Amino acid sequence: MQKKYELYRGKVKTVYITDNPDLLIIEFRNIVSALDGNRFEYFDRKGMINNKLNYFVMSMLEKAGILTHIEALYSKNEILVKNLDMIPLECVIRNRAAGSLVKRFSLVEGEVLDPPIFEMFLKNDAKHDPLVNESHCETLNLVNVNHLSYIKSLSFKINHLLSRLFNNIGLILVDFKLEFGIFHGTVVLGDEFSPDSARLWDKITLNKMDKDIYRYGLSGLIAAYEDVANRLGVILD
């Protein structure tokens, strides 16, 4: 598969066109960003760790019957994926109160949310990714209603699989974000799953093992990402 040219440069990932119109290459760069991209920093090895961790988690989901965009690892910090027509939503599942939910409802961080909460945010940097509901999605034609109910049920199924996966390695899956797209008429999980797009806490110490380390100005970001990868059994370099 030949990488041809850059299609889109995001805050931490770059997407490349290939010589096959059905396939793209995503590069995970050594950058972490926060605050709508207003703060960012270089971290050696981060791209490789997230690429391999994402590939591991998505492969596990594939084996469990979830359709994902992953095809193969392309290099240590790049992955070959299906070229999806992306749905402009960030779907968030929350098992415990954290982040923006704590601020919105004045909750105590860590409070168990039973049943878990499903939220959607419109992908629009200029509008700071506003929270949207199913009614917005239908009226504003953001996503086909049948696809929407499928995406919601898939998000809960993925939560079930991933909560168990992380629980088995001593981590609490606090919350995470998913993005979906359409590939030849079928809903497929796209984008990434990594400690950039999820909150993971150690079950015993409740230490944060995700991007909150950077958001809160703490140290040890790469060590924590590596710890998550090692516990999963991901082979790094």
User: Kind and range of the H or E element at 7?
Assistant: strand 3-9
Question: Between residues 3 and 11, which has the closer beta carbon with respect to ligand TMP?
Answer: 11
Name the segment binding ligand TMP (CB under 6 A); options: 47-55, 145-153, 196-204, 217-225.
196-204
Instruction: Note whether 87 binds ligand TMP by CB under 6 A.
Output: no
Instruction: Note whether 173 binds ligand TMP by CB under 6 A.
Output: no
Instruction: Note whether 129 binds ligand TMP by CB under 6 A.
Output: yes
Q: What is the CA radius of gyration of the chain?
A: 17
Question: Between residues 101 and 213, which has the closer beta carbon with respect to ligand TMP?
Answer: 101
Instruction: Note whether 166 binds ligand TMP by CB under 6 A.
Output: no
Site for ligand TMP in 88-107 (CB under 6 A): 90, 92, 98-101
DSSP state, 67? -
Question: Between residues 89 and 187, which has the closer beta carbon with respect to ligand TMP?
Answer: 89
Question: Between residues 1 and 206, which has the closer beta carbon with respect to ligand TMP?
Answer: 206
Instruction: Note whether 178 binds ligand TMP by CB under 6 A.
Output: no
Q: How many CB atoms lie within 10 A of CB 174?
A: 26
Q: Of the candidates 185, 113, 116, which has an alpha carbon nearest to the alpha carbon of residue 152?
A: 116
Least distance in angstroms from the C-beta of 102 to ligand TMP: 8
State how far the Cα of 151 lies from the Cα of 87, in Å rounded to an integer: 10
Cα-based torsion angle of the residue sequence 106, 180, 78, 123 in order, rounded to the nearest 10 degrees: -50
Q: Of the candidates 140, 138, 157, 158, which has an alpha carbon nearest to the alpha carbon of residue 148?
A: 138
Question: Between residues 13 and 82, which has the closer beta carbon with respect to ligand TMP?
Answer: 13
Backbone angles phi, psi at 26, to 5 degrees: -110, 130
Residues near ligand TMP, by CB under 6 A: 90, 92, 98-101, 121, 129, 175-177, 197-199
